[in-house]
């Protein structure tokens, strides 16, 4: 299965580039913004598909986002305790790149 963020990004690229033959700098910026927004939105998955082990993930309860892990039938956050009725989840993001990987620029 392809990551849903990749599928959403590919769909947006196809939509953007089917509208124009000539890519300008502003089009590349608009493309990047649109694709990243689509990828971010697609990253949230229904809570029924969340891992059943104690892996920490991000959960959304309709109001806030928490880093949480499953403990039996409950979702637990060190900050909030038990999280009632989360509706969506997504994997934790990758850690930041090292300064060396960013070409010596912190960012």
Q: Is the entire prediction scored with pTM above 0.85?
A: no
pLDDT score at 53:
87
Q: In the structure, what pLDDT confidence band is assigned to residue 32 with cuts at 50, 70 and 90? A: confident
Q: In the structure, what pLDDT confidence band is assigned to residue 57 with cuts at 50, 70 and 90? A: very high
pLDDT score at 107:
52
Q: How far is the C-alpha of 51 from the C-alpha of 91, rounded, in Å?
A: 9
At 60, list the tokens. 């959304």
Q: How far is the C-alpha of 76 from the C-alpha of 25, rounded, in Å?
A: 45
- Higher pLDDT: 9 or 36? It is 36
**Phi, psi values for residue 70, rounded to 5°:** -90, 135
At 84, list the tokens. 């009632």
Write out the chain in H/E/C secondary structure. CCCHHHHHHHHHHHHHHHCCCCCCHHHHHHHHHHHHHHHHHHHCEEHHHCCCCCCEEEEECCCCEEEEEEECCEEEECCCEEECCCCEEECCCCCCCCCCCCCCCCC
Residue whose C-alpha is closest to residue 84's, from 66, 104, 57:
66
């Amino acid at each position: 299965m392809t990551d849903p963020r990749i599928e959403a990004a590919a769909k947006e690229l196809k939509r953007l580039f089917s509208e124009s033959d000539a890519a300008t700098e502003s089009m590349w910026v608009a493309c990047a913004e649109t694709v990243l927004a689509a990828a971010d939105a697609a990253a949230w998955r229904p809570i029924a598909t969340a891992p059943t082990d104690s892996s920490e993930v991000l959960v959304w309860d309709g109001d806030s986002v928490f880093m949480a892990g499953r403990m039996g039938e409950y979702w637990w956050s060190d900050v909030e305790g038990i999280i009632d009725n989360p509706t969506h989840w997504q994997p934790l993001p990758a850690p930041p790149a090292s300064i060396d990987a960013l070409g010596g620029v912190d960012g």
